[in-house]
Amino acid sequence: MGVPEGYRPMLDWALDLPGQLRVGYKAARAAGLKPGRFANVVVCGMGGSGISGSIARSLLWDRARQPILSCRDYDLPAAAGKDTLLVAISYSGETEETLSAVSQARQRGCRIVAITSGGRLAAIARNAGWPSVGVPGGLPPRAALGYLLGACLGVLEGCGIARGLGRDTTAAARLLERERPTLSRVARSLARALLGRLPFVYSTARSLDAVAERWRCQLNENAKLVCHTSELPELDHNEIVGLGGPEFVAKDTELVVLAERDTHSRTLARVRETLFIARGSYHKAHLLTPAGRTRLERMLWLVLLGDLASIELARLEGVDPKTIVRIDELKRRLAQLK
Ligand code: PA5
């Protein structure tokens, strides 16, 4: 079986995460943003763009003074108003849900910052005189995570939502560069373990919820697989009972548990007890703990591991990690309905 065409470029883009992070962050800090007094932050974006906002929100969940909300739809939450910092992220600049939310944000008087490689979002921001962070184009949006996340962190710091994000970004980029060989090795072995199985990815700290979501989306789009995500300790109050049902799923369920230093010691005890009580309801469990001193380092260590594992899994399955035929078809069909 030959190597799928998109394997090499997807791998190279994934491994460029540290370089992209630096570029994205720098672009945002050069955008002339000013700190403001905001009641809340709303990050709008879908799929491969929206995930960067979710990762930023997970990173800052106990650090930002204002609530950071994700908007993954056409309509804004009621909390979005004059005191809202609205960060609109669309790699293509053409995503209809994001453009709809931006148009509502304009009517409500939100302070809007765009992050995009071009398209209508760039044009709207230019015409309206909003700050806009331009990132290099030409990649699949999910392969541009570093640009978008780096830019999002730069925007949040520039607008006064959190401090120290530049230092965090630099440290994370350095760690990922050093860890690339280890991550590549672990990703290949994980991909072999996931081949032919149904992945369940569990997060064990709120900083890891968006990381688990990234794993799911990358397994969906790169490896063309369904993937389930859930979180501890919450799943100990419901899903623990359902694990293993229906029976035919149990023998092929592969659990990936993401843990880190911020994981509460009682939650770690829960992981052990949950895996014990539910033994026989899954094939195998993999407990993954990242390297890294800072939270962002650890989050992105796990993100890059998931990205690489999904690309390796695509290679083992003989599917092209770059193509997303159904998303392309859906966008084409919806455009015709207008
Ligand atoms: O991976 C993808 O291509 C999608 O998830 C897109 O990111 C999503 O459709 C949104 O498009 P964009 O990122 O250009 O706003």
Q: Is the CB of 321 under 6 A from ligand 1?
A: no
Does residue 42's CB lie within 6 angstroms of at least one atom of ligand 1? no
Q: Write the pLDDT tens digit of every residue in 38-55.
A: 999 999 999 999 999 999
Round to the nearest angstrom and report the end-to-end CA distance of the chain: 42
pLDDT given at position 151: 98
Task: Give me the pLDDT at residue 322, please.
Answer: 98
- Name the band, by pLDDT with cuts 50, 70 and 90, for residue 12: very high
Alpha-carbon torsion (86, 87, 93, 95), positive or negative: negative
What mean pLDDT is predicted for residues 253-275? 97
Given the residues 179, 221, 254, 297, the one annotated as active site: 221
- Give the SS3 label for residue 263: coil
For 81-131, the pLDDT digits (tens) are: 999 999 999 999 999 999 999 999 999 999 999 999 999 999 999 999 999
* pLDDT tens by residue, 282-318: 999 999 999 999 999 999 999 999 999 999 999 999 9
Q: Which residues pair with 229 in a beta bridge?
A: 201
24: pLDDT strictly greater than 80: yes
pLDDT at 32: 92
* Spatial contact of 250 and 280, defined as CB atoms under 8 Å apart: yes
Place of tokens 């899903």: 239
Q: Residue of the nearest CA to atom 9 in ligand 1? A: 47
Q: How far apart are CA 137 and CA 144, in angstroms?
A: 8
Confidence of residue 77 (pLDDT cuts 50, 70, 90): very high
**pLDDT tens digits, 202-251:** 999 999 999 999 999 999 999 999 999 999 999 999 999 999 999 988 88
Q: Is residue 286 flagged as an active site residue?
A: no
> Taking a C-beta distance cutoff of 8 angstroms, is the pair 37, 2 a contact?
no
Residue-wise pLDDT for 48-74, tens only, equals 999 999 999 999 999 998 999 999 999
**Residues 180, 15 contacting (CB under 8 angstroms):** yes
Residue 338: what pLDDT? 72
User: Can you tell me whether residue 111 is helix, strand or coil?
Assistant: strand
Distance of CA 244 from the midpoint of ligand 1 (Å): 33
Check residue 123 and give its pLDDT: 98
The answer to whether residue 13 scores a pLDDT higher than 80 is: yes
Q: Does ligand 1 come within 6 angstroms of the Cβ of 211?
A: no
Helices (H), the chain: 7-15, 17-29, 47-59, 96-108, 119-128, 145-158, 165-194, 209-221, 239-242, 247-250, 265-277, 295-317, 325-337
Beta strands at 132-134 and 198-203: parallel, antiparallel or unpaired: unpaired
The model's confidence at residue 173, banded by pLDDT at 50, 70 and 90, is very high
Q: What is the pLDDT of residue 135?
A: 98
- Residue whose C-alpha is closest to residue 44's, from 98, 112, 109, 118: 98
Q: What confidence score (pLDDT) does residue 202 get?
A: 98
Q: Is the pLDDT of residue 4 over 80?
A: yes
Which of 87, 89, 92 maximizes ligand 1 atoms within 8 Å of its Cβ, making it the mutation to test the pocket?
A: 92
Pocket flag, ligand 1, residue 216 (CB < 6 Å): no
Q: Is 70 in the pocket of ligand 1 (CB under 6 A)?
A: no
pLDDT band for 175, please (50, 70, 90 cuts).
very high
Rg (CA), the chain: 20
Give this prediction's pTM: 0.98
